[in-house]
Amino acid sequence: MSANLSPDHSPDRATSADTATAAEAVTLYMTAASTDEALAIARALVAERLIACANVVDPVTSVFRWEGGVGEERETVVFMKTSRARADAAMARIVELHSYEVPCVTVLPVVAGNAGYLAWVKQETED
């Protein structure tokens, strides 16, 4: 995505979206076992229009409790932008595609944001 330039060639200033527009957007947070898995899931969800885009952050180190012990693993984090209307379907698809028995996938509300960006997220996740 490229920045739009105003007549003075400076990037458009981000404006806060109204509450109704921001309330329609959410960010999904997911961890994956590898970059390859994270990218495969992200590509599938974008192709299926369940998310507008994904940011893959690698590597991260996760410390967790599992099956009575403390574990520590290298993982990949993915932030996915979607509409509230698509969040449940996106989470269900992630669970289907994910290698973990209990994948981390949460929905984070968007309180405010660039109105143009939020409109793009909505447009890209509509049928």
Query: Which pLDDT tens digits describe the chain residue by residue (127 residues)?
Result: 444 433 443 344 445 556 667 789 999 999 999 999 999 999 999 999 999 999 999 999 999 999 999 999 999 999 999 999 999 999 999 999 999 999 999 999 999 999 999 999 999 999 8
Domains with residue ranges and CATH for the chain: 21-124 (3.30.70.120)
β-strands 105-109, 25-32: how paired? Answer: antiparallel
Region of 20 (left: φ > 0; alpha: ψ -120 to 50; beta: rest) is alpha
Query: Measuring CA to CA, how many Å separate 88 from each of 26, 64, 82, 93?
Result: 11, 25, 10, 9
Query: Measuring CA to CA, how many Å separate 94 from each of 11, 52, 53, 87, 91?
Result: 35, 15, 14, 10, 5
Q: What are 34's two structure tokens? A: 């590898």
pLDDT for the residue 7: 41
pLDDT for the residue 9: 39
| CA–CA gap between residue 1 and residue 52 (Å, rounded) | 12
